[in-house]
Amino acid sequence: MSRNFVSNRALAVDASGIRKVFDLAAKMKDPINLSIGLPDFDVPDIAKQAAIDSIKAGQNRYTQTQGIAPLRERLRADLSREIGRDVGEVLITSGVSGGLLLAILATIDPGDEAVFLDPYFVMYKHLLTMAGGKSVIVDSYPDFRFHADRVEKAITPKTKLLILNSPSNPTGVVMSEAEIRAAVEVAKKHNLLMLSDEIYEPFLYDIDRNRVGATHSSPGYGGANGDASVAPTYSPPVLYEKVVILRGF
């Protein structure tokens, strides 16, 4: 008797278009790869050597599940200085994909809704489907900007998450301070958890990260309710505490 061993959960995930393009490219002669974010240069020798040295020094076994303490402590201190308050626990995952999966599984119950803009990073929809959640996708065409009025219309009593991705894949759009403020307003008003996918934050070359923390801790800065016009606000957790920050390092 034939039996389908594939779960309904897996069946609900359709193959990403990017995989189809990979398959097609594998059959082509000398295709130019403009797809995933692979640099066109090799890993620098200094980084390779550091990895080799660590392996040789015996750092080649299971670590603490949440990541080794010195790494987590260093990232917590750096991020807290940058954001202007203690950001809380840091968890090391296998890529931002691992972080997204865990964040969604840890927060979404069947029927819960998550709002995000279209165009969006392909995994959001599939992870939400796998968690039994519902993707509520807000059209951001033609300018790909965050339109608070459109987002607000998409919110229902079942909305739990607001997913932001700035700088964005695939559009490259970086949310302005006004847009971040508007997104935080919406999240506060509807008591939403925000998932801030900041994987491309290192590409914001004009941010002085040291100045951000210094400004926030200076007298007169009122934290989440303060006058953030004195500091460049490019990351939602500067203004809102109910945020899971996802970064790649």
Ligand X SMILES: Cc1ncc(COP(=O)(O)O)c(C=O)c1O
Phi first, then psi, for residue 242 (nearest 5°) are -90, 65
Q: Smallest distance, Å, CB 203 to ligand X? A: 11
The Cα 112–Cα 32 span in angstroms is: 41
Give the chain's end-to-end CA distance (angstroms, integer).
49
Q: Smallest distance, Å, CB 193 to ligand X? A: 17
Q: Output 98 or 222, the one with its CB closest to ligand X.
A: 98
Q: Output 5 or 41, the one with its CB closest to ligand X.
A: 41
CA 56 to chain centre: 33
* Contact criterion met (CB below 8 Å) for 197 and 121: yes
Question: Is the omega angle on the peptide bond into residue 44 within 30 degrees of 0, that is, cis?
Answer: no
Q: Smallest distance, Å, CB 127 to ligand X? A: 10
Q: Which residues contact 213 (CB under 8 A, 6 or more apart)?
A: 80, 81, 82, 83, 84
DSSP-derived letter for residue 220 is T
β-strands 113-118, 159-165: how paired?
parallel
Q: Smallest distance, Å, CB 94 to ligand X? A: 7
* Contact criterion met (CB below 8 Å) for 161 and 192: yes
**Interface with ligand X (CB under 6 A):** 37, 95-97, 121, 165, 169, 197, 199, 248
Q: Output 121 or 144, the one with its CB closest to ligand X.
A: 121
Q: Output 40 or 149, the one with its CB closest to ligand X.
A: 40
The Cα 239–Cα 221 span in angstroms is: 12
Q: Output 132 or 248, the one with its CB closest to ligand X.
A: 248
Q: Output 97 or 129, the one with its CB closest to ligand X.
A: 97
Q: Smallest distance, Å, CB 121 to ligand X? A: 4
Q: Smallest distance, Å, CB 37 to ligand X? A: 6
